[in-house]
């Protein structure tokens, strides 16, 4: 559920960066955009927002003072971010994605030190506070600084919120947990927020304050038993496991062996070898697998966020387009959940990446042939958005099963870093649409996705196969349980 308000904070630039109707006084060229008021509006913010056509003075010089009209007020109209400043909105979004990278890198270490639950609620509370504060800034430079910290906190919440539920469920449920569509719900409800509120400051305030309701879940969400066991806090973990067993009406088995393993796990200096990012590239096979899945995360992030941020450049009603772009994610996620354990990880990921790539290239072809086919273009673009959403979910599951146990979390950390780099690149790729060929981002995204799909064929299939434990360290004899052997001591992942 945290994903819904986090999606609001993350994807607000879709509406904050919209260019309202404006003109340049004294210019020989009549500057206007294609924002048309709806005749059947029941709110002052209800507008049929279509692709804006930015123009400056006829000579290409800086507009001395852009005049904005209409009810829509965004950061563009607030600080006149047109002409010589038209790069600022995409730059602010890039700054936000840089913060996302920092947050993802730091949160894994902090979650291992302080616990999943505590860090989740602390960073989420800070996210709401910083997001609310960004509504009261008086310069775009300060706003960019706030968006950096918002990105960092979003990155932290996303990482911990992904890990925490996975540590409660069995392997058969992990695909489901990774595909629950609360992010898509966040995108759809964000479209409703944008439709109802035309003032960007009030839009931020509304989404920030509404997110407070998630804080009340503190009393219902327990700490991860696995994290507690890794810290040797067996009694606390046992209490949580008993509560879970009671809720599911099952009898909790004897936990004496688990208690012994918890005592061993709390002594990493005796029990486990330290692994590093170097082990991801220790052999040719490992290097190939690591680079492919890292590229998969890079492509998934850049194409996903790129298509989201590019929604404002599609013809038609912006609010409807954003709502549909969230809605179309759900069928792809259902597809992954239903078939990932049946036809295999490679085929699922390949099919979705190819569909995303072909859809993006089809947008280019249709636009070049007849750009008036706006409905067809939107439909094809939404198919691509749906495919990349499912492709990212499938890639996450596939990559987690590709890495050996002892370096799995290190590998996922490297993949997450690649995804954040892709997110940083996404706004700049979208910025290509500001030139003469507004459809240019689509072939870029399409090429990235197609290459990713074919590369997935080079990965080993992991369906119905045990997780690899290639790098094995033998514990000290005194750490073995009575009558045990090294093989009976489960290897522990490097903390995420």
pLDDT of residue 169: 73
The residue whose two tokens read 């950096």 is 148
Angle at 245 between CA 242 and CA 246, to 5 degrees: 85
Dist CA 372 CA 358 (whole Å):
20
Closest CA to 403 of 304, 302, 282: 282
Ranges of each domain in the chain: 1-223, 279-476
* CATH number among 3.30.2310.20, 1.20.1250.20, 3.30.160.20, 1.10.10.10, domain 1-223: 1.20.1250.20
The residue whose two tokens read 């507004």 is 438
Half-sphere exposure of 235 (CA within 13 A, CB side): 0
pLDDT of residue 62: 62
Burial 68-82 (b: 16+ CB within 10 A, else e): bebebbbbbbbbbbb
The bridge status of strand 22-23 relative to strand 35-37 is unpaired
pLDDT of residue 212: 93
pLDDT of residue 263: 63
149: left (phi over 0), alpha (psi -120 to 50) or beta: alpha
Low-confidence residues of the chain: pLDDT under 50:
29-54, 58-60, 270-272, 469-470, 472-481, 483-496
10-35 per-position pLDDT tens digit: 999 999 988 888 777 755 544 444 44
Closest CA to 240 of 163, 174, 168, 177: 168
Q: Is the pTM of this model over 0.85?
A: no
pLDDT of residue 171: 65
pLDDT of residue 377: 87
The reply to whether 1-223 and 279-476 are identical in fold is: yes
**CA 86 to chain CA mean position, Å:** 26
Dist CA 30 CA 51 (whole Å):
17
Half-sphere exposure of 280 (CA within 13 A, CB side): 21
Cβ atoms of 45 and 197 closer than 8 Å: yes
Angle at 194 between CA 189 and CA 196, to 5 degrees: 95
Please give, one letter per residue, the 3-state secondary structure of the chain. Answer: CCHHHHHHHHHCHHHHCCCCCEECCCCCCCCCCCEEECCCCCCCCCEEECCCCCCCCCCCCCCCCCEECCCCECHHHHCCCCHHHCCHHHHHHHHHHHHHHHHHHHHHHHHHHHCHHHHHHHHHHHHHHHHHHHHHCCCHHHHHHHHHHHHHHHHHHHHHHHHHHHCCCCHHHHHHHHHCCHHHHHHHHHHHHHHHCCEHHHHHHHHHHHHHHHHHHHHCCCCCHHHHHHCCCHHHHHHHHHHHHHHCCCCCCCCHHHHHHHHHHCCHHHHCCCCCHHHHHCCHHHHHHHHHHHHHHHHHHHHHHHHHHHHHHCCCCHHHHHHHHHHCHHHHHHHHHHHHHHHCHHHHHHHHHHHHHHHHHHHHHHHHHCCCCHHHHHHHHHHHHHHHHHHHHHHHHHHHHHCCHHHHHHHHHHHHHHHHHHHHHHHHHHHHHHCCCCCCHHHHHHHHHHHHHHHHHHCCCCCCCCCCCCCCCCCCHHHCCCCCCHHHCCCCCCCC
pLDDT of residue 489: 36
pLDDT of residue 208: 95
The CATH homologous superfamily of the domain defined by 279-476? MFS general substrate transporter like domains (1.20.1250.20)
């Amino acid at each position: 559920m945290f994903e819904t308000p986090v999606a609001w904070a993350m994807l607000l630039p879709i509406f904050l960066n919209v260019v309202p109707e404006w003109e340049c006084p004294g210019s020989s060229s009549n500057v206007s955009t294609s924002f048309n008021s709806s005749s059947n509006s029941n709110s002052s913010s209800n507008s049929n927002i279509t692709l804006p056509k930015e123009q400056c003075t006829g000579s290409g010089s800086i507009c001395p003072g852009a005049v904005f009209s209409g009810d829509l007020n965004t950061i563009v109209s607030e600080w006149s971010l047109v002409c010589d400043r038209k790069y600022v909105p995409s730059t602010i979004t890039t700054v936000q994605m840089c913060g996302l990278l920092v947050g993802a890198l730091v949160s894994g270490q902090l979650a291992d030190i302080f616990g999943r639950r505590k860090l989740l609620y602390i960073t989420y509370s800070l996210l709401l506070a910083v997001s609310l504060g960004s509504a009261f800034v008086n310069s775009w430079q300060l706003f960019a600084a706030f968006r950096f910290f918002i990105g960092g906190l979003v990155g932290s919440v996303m990482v911990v919120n992904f890990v925490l539920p996975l540590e409660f469920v069995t392997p058969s449920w992990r695909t489901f947990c990774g595909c629950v569509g609360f992010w898509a719900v966040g995108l759809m409800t964000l479209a409703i927020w944008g439709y109802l509120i035309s003032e960007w400051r009030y839009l931020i305030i509304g989404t920030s304050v509404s997110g407070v309701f998630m804080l009340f879940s503190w009393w219902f969400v327990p700490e991860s038993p696995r994290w507690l066991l890794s810290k040797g806090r067996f009694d606390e973990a046992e209490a949580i496991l008993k509560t879970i067993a009671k809720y599911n009406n099952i009898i909790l088995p004897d936990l004496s062996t688990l208690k012994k393993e918890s005592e061993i796990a709390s002594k990493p200096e005796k029990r486990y070898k330290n692994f590093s990012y170097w082990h991801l590239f220790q052999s040719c096979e490992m290097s190939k697998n690591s680079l492919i899945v890292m590229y998969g995360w890079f492509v998934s992030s850049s194409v996903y966020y790129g298509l989201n941020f590019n929604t404002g450049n599609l013809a038609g009603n912006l609010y409807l387009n954003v709502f549909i772009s969230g809605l179309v994610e759900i069928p792809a996620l259902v597809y992954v959940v239903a078939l990932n354990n049946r036809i295999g990880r490679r085929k699922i990921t390949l099919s979705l990446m190819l569909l995303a790539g072909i859809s993006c290239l089809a947008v280019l072809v249709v636009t070049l042939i007849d750009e008036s086919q706006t409905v067809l273009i939107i439909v094809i673009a939404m198919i691509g958005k749906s495919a990349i959403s499912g492709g990212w979910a499938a890639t996450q599951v596939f990559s987690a099963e590709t890495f050996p146990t002892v370096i799995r979390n290190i590998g996922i950390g490297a993949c997450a870093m690649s995804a954040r780099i892709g997110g940083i690149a996404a706004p700049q790729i979208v910025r290509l649409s500001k030139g003469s060929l507004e459809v240019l981002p689509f072939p870029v995204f399409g090429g990235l996705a197609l290459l990713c799909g074919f590369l997935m064929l080079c990965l080993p299939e992991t369906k119905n196969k045990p997780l690899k434990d290639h790098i094995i360290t033998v514990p000290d004899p005194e750490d073995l349980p009575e009558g045990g052997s090294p093989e009976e001591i489960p290897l522990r992942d490097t903390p995420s």
